[in-house]
Chains A and B, each alone.
Chain A
Amino acid sequence: MKYILMMNGTQANFDSYAKWSKQDIEANVAFMRNFRQELHDSGVFVDTKELAWPQEAKFVRSGADGEPITDGVFPESKEFLAGYWIVDVGSAEQAYKIAARVSAAPGPGGKPANMPIEVRQVLGSHGDLGL
């Protein structure tokens, strides 16, 4: 079963991360690098991606003539995807354990950031999308 572990944050969350000390950021990045290696070594790793910060984020809707209509204005409460991990595990509980490890990544002063990590199952194959 594949699960996606998503780290989301509001613009305010991103702004506060930008104020972390260099030392705190380095500790967090080092944790994330080791974490990825652990997932890989334990055979559950499928993919991970980090997204660019949301300044350039756009919502796109189709216009009447088929032209894309873009909008870059979002409510303050809007949660932006910061990054994700996809893991292939035997149970939802195992996915939650992995998510809890990411959530405990060190934040300011080396304390666990306790970031909320959203855990969702992904559809098993392209067949589910009719592809």
Chain B
Amino acid sequence: MKYILLMTGTKAGVDTYHAWSKKDVDAHMAILVSINRELTESGEFIATQGLAGPNEAKVVRGVINGVPVTDGIFPESKEFLLGYWIVDVATPDRAYEIAGRISAAPGPGGKPTNMPIEVRQFATHGPKSA
């Protein structure tokens, strides 16, 4: 069963992250790297991707006179995707366990960030099945 684990945050949340000390960022990244390595070794790793910060984010809605209609204004509450992991696991509980590990990655002062990680399954029908 393939699951995608989505890490999201508001712009304010991303700004907070930029204020972390280098030591805190390094400790955080070291845990994420070791989780990726473990998932690779267990054969559960499919992909991971980080996104650029939301400052350049645009929403595109249709076309007027051949020009895409873009909008870069978002409500403060808007949750932006920061990155994701795709894993192939035997049970939903295993996906939750991995998401819990990511959520427990250390933040400022080494304390777990407890960031919420959204866990979603891929569609299992249609032409674009995962």
Contact = CB atoms under 8 A, between A and B. Distances in A.
A28 B122 CA distance: 19
Classify the interface of chain A: helix, strand, loop or mixed.
mixed
B36 A57 contact: no
Nearest to A121: B52
B118 to A, nearest CB: 6
Contact of A115 (B61, B97, B128): B61
Interface residues of B, number: 57
A71 B130 CA distance: 24
A66 B100 contact: yes
B119 A58 contact: yes
A10 to B, nearest CB: 12
A41 interface: no
Interface of A: 4, 6, 29, 32-33, 36, 48-54, 56-63, 66-71, 77-81, 83, 86, 92-93, 96-97, 99-100, 103-104, 112, 114-123, 126, 128-131
17 contacts: A29-B126, A36-B127, A49-B4, A52-B124, A54-B120, A56-B120, A61-B116, A63-B100, A66-B100, A86-B49, A96-B58, A100-B61, A117-B59, A120-B81, A123-B50, A129-B33, A130-B32
